[in-house]
Amino acid sequence: MNLKKSFLILSILTLNILNAQSYKKPLVSAIKESDLKTDMYQMAADQFWGREAGTLDELKVSMWFADKMKDAGMKPAGDNGTFFQFFDMYRHQVSPQSSVKIGDKNLKIWKDILVQDVTDNNFTAPILYLGKIEPQDLASKNIAGKVVALKASDLNVSKEMTLFERRYPGFIRTKYYKTISQLGAKGIIFITDDISDKSWIEVLPQMTRGTYGVEGLREKVDVGIPVFWIKQENENWVKNNPEITLNIQTETYKYPSVNIIGKIEGTDPKLKNEYVLLSGHQDHDGIRHPVKNDTIYNGADDNASTCVAILAMARAYKKQPSKRSILFVIHGAEERGLLGSRWHAAHPVVPKESIVAVLNGDMIGRNDNNEAALLGSDAPHKNSEELVKLALDANNESTKFKFLKAWDLPEHPEYFYFRSDHLPYAKAGIPALFFTSVLHFQYHTPQDESENINFKKLYKMTEWMYRTSWKVANETERPKLIKDFKLER
């Protein structure tokens, strides 16, 4: 080997070493389990009454969180020099003036009959009772202009889902609605089976609460045929083909919700104008029906866990800033349909092109200490090779989680990738990942409380997110978006 070639190889090796050592190690020692515990027991306490979006309780916890952001060393990054980015969410409900009459019987809405969809309809039509029938058999029936009454069928409905009973009526509607609507029917009456009988108490508050939207999503009441539920004990109401007369009226309100946004500025003169966005959501389910004598849905894991992790990471960044700036976004109204993240993705407080990556966490404080999921790490959900590699490298450095890779598969029954706040950013063309320790049996129940958080696990997940963000915030090159990336769902 000649001297010139040897010098070239040595120069390349030296350059690689310098690049690898061009920034400090993450200050993991600044993250304290005691801080996570203190913040958790405050944020998920009964004082905030479950933090339901669009209520004073959500606004109260927002004030609490803004104070915590300030104490952690963040600067305000919301509107008008504050930590807050307010937005309007739309709420559509069935009006109390609505009425349903079958034959000569006036039914009491929410007691005798449930109205599944918020849609305006006023007509009289014959009822066609079909009993138990599958969607593929409907075409042989003359259902045009009629309200179809049928028994709910769970055939080909996946039961391997968390909160199956609560979600079952939604699955049944999806199974039949498109076919019945295309065949010209005027409405649907589902007669409950044993599963949906049990789910009545679960879905009642969902249906009475109505549907929600934000600018560009469900701003107006849906146009479609009405969908009703009656209990199987009342099957005879529809069995003899009487008429149904209905007058379903709707009401729409606008409620305020809010994203809480802070930042810690980077140190590099050029790179500080780019941002790594760390995100979670503050809201949960508020006050609902009792489960085990408790009515407050505190949402400790979902998602106070990521919120307190973000505070812990901010303290570390305050002590040792990175080259790029860090934008900390706590979204509002996630439980109402990712409304806060949809709003911020459409109205970012910094230029969209300056956001190099979104690292979102949701439910990071439960289950096995050595297992976790990284959603968006595999096709078809992966939108950045470099971002995934940085997250994997960060895990290999310390936390060494075994990945629950099935949760990132498009055929996974939970469709979990599509259910948290990274999604609007990924759709907007920003590299994005979703860190989670996945679901558990106390998900969306009043038993999701601070005392049930696994704080060792929460610490490990916080460390992993922090190590990943540190790499993204200090690497010379920003993660690239996979060319022609497109989400199919």
- State how far the alpha carbon of 430 is from the alpha carbons of 195, 389, 394, in Å: 41, 16, 20
Residue appearing with tokens 């598969």: 409
Distance CA 374, CA 264 (A): 25
Q: Which two tokens stand for residue 121?
A: 């309809």
Number of alpha carbons in the 13 Å side-chain half-sphere of residue 436: 27
Helix (H) or strand (E) holding 179: helix 164-182
Q: Which two tokens stand for residue 313?
A: 């990471």
Radius of gyration of the chain (CA): 26
Q: Where in the chain is the domain with CATH 3.50.30.30?
A: 96-248
Q: Which amino acid is at 357?
A: A
Residues of the chain falling short of pLDDT 50 = 13-20
- Tell me yes or no: is domain 24-89+255-474 CATH 3.40.630.10: yes
184: number of Cβ within 10 Å: 12
132: number of Cβ within 10 Å: 12
Burial 51-70 (b: 16+ CB within 10 A, else e): bbbbbebbbebbebbbebbe
| pLDDT for residue 5 | 54
What are the backbone angles phi and psi of residue 163, rounded to the nearest 5°?
Answer: 55, 40
Q: Where in the chain is the domain with CATH 3.40.630.10?
A: 24-89+255-474
180: number of Cβ within 10 Å: 23
Cβ neighbors of 460 (< 8 A, separation 6 or more) are 369, 372, 399, 401
Distance CA 97, CA 247 (A): 8
Cβ neighbors of 344 (< 8 A, separation 6 or more) are 85, 259, 261, 329, 331, 424
| pLDDT for residue 11 | 52
CA angle 370, 374, 379 (to 5 degrees): 140
| Inter-residue contact 188 to 138 (CB < 8 Å) | no
Cβ neighbors of 268 (< 8 A, separation 6 or more) are 323, 324
| pLDDT for residue 4 | 54
Chain CA centroid to CA 228, Å = 27
State the alpha helices, DSSP H only, in 104-163.
none
**CB burial of residue 254 (10 Å; 0-12, 13-18, 19+):** exposed
- State how far the alpha carbon of 406 is from the alpha carbons of 368, 373, 377, 415, 464, in Å: 16, 9, 11, 11, 20
pTM above 0.75, yes or no: yes
| Inter-residue contact 412 to 436 (CB < 8 Å) | no
Distance CA 423, CA 346 (A): 12
- State how far the alpha carbon of 3 is from the alpha carbons of 7, 10, 14, 16, in Å: 6, 10, 16, 20
What CATH class has 96-248? alpha beta
